Amino acid sequence: MTARILDGKACSKEIEAELKELVPSLSVTPTLALLLVGTNPDSKTYIRLKKNACTRVGITPQVHELAETITFEELQTLIISLNTDQNVHGVLLQLPLPEHLKTHEEELLETINPLKEVDGLHSHHFARLTEFKKDGDKKELRLQPCTPAGCLEILARNGIELKGKDVVVIGRGQLVGLPLSLMLLAANCTVTTCHSQTKNLAEKVRLAEVVFVGTGQPEMVKGDWIADGAVVVDVGINYVDDATFRRSGNLIVLRIVRSFRTAQGTGLTRRT
């Protein structure tokens, strides 16, 4: 079966076009505070992409580039001030944080007002994932984590139905694997969540109609593990020393050439 690549960039452009129409109709111009601590190259890239995306759709980005040595107390004080600033409508704390702040990561995320915490990482948002309500109370704030939501959105926009499917999620982290598994259960999928201690991983993957790979390990899933007709979504970002990459184009889990797949490095980050 010929593989069909689901291009996240195209999905991103569709959503941007929709937002460009929506934002001017709002009663205020949204302002998003982007907090970057230190000089991590990946984090700087993500902040730049988010800043540019905001600008393109009419949202005002407010970038706070903070010193690597900032203390927990100083960072928490800044977050509290953004919570009370009526001109700031969203707050995003870029992760990962420097080593001396890692133990405070959860507390800092919890400091952000859930009404402004746009990444969906606050415990308020996570708790809502366990309720399996289709719509919930319309007055209730229900914000899904961005990356898992992006995974489901790209499939929905390509007409891929998940209801009733046997799904394997590889990875159980709080950013992707765990919330994604809960969201898939809410979408009426039968979900198997796998991780580094899972036995017979290949057998489980071969039985799946949809596979989400959310690990940072290159080529963890082999091409011959994927059933014909299966959908594969690669959520992880891997650095591979491969001089042929630019020539060979889109790669995913050891060059799988089966059914639908997302292109590694072509848009889940842009989508989210």
Which tokens go with 6?
């689901």
Q: Which of 62, 116, 119, 234 is catalytic?
A: 119
| 94 noted as active-site residue | yes
Q: Which of 50, 116, 165, 204 is catalytic?
A: 50
Choose among 144, 139, 75: nearest CA to 109. Answer: 75
Q: Which of 94, 116, 144, 264 is catalytic?
A: 94
On whether the CB atoms of residues 268 and 5 are closer than 8 A, the answer is no
Separation of alpha carbons 114 and 49, rounded Å: 23
CA angle 42, 268, 13 (to 5 degrees): 110
Residue carrying the six token digits 């390990």: 217
Query: What is the Cβ-side half-sphere exposure of residue 24, based on CA atoms within 13 angstroms?
Result: 7
On whether the CB atoms of residues 231 and 209 are closer than 8 A, the answer is yes
β-bridge partners, 35:
64, 93
On whether the CB atoms of residues 93 and 113 are closer than 8 A, the answer is no
Choose among 125, 94, 100, 115: nearest CA to 269. Answer: 94
CA 156 to chain centre: 15
| 166 noted as active-site residue | no
Catalytic residue list: 50, 94, 119
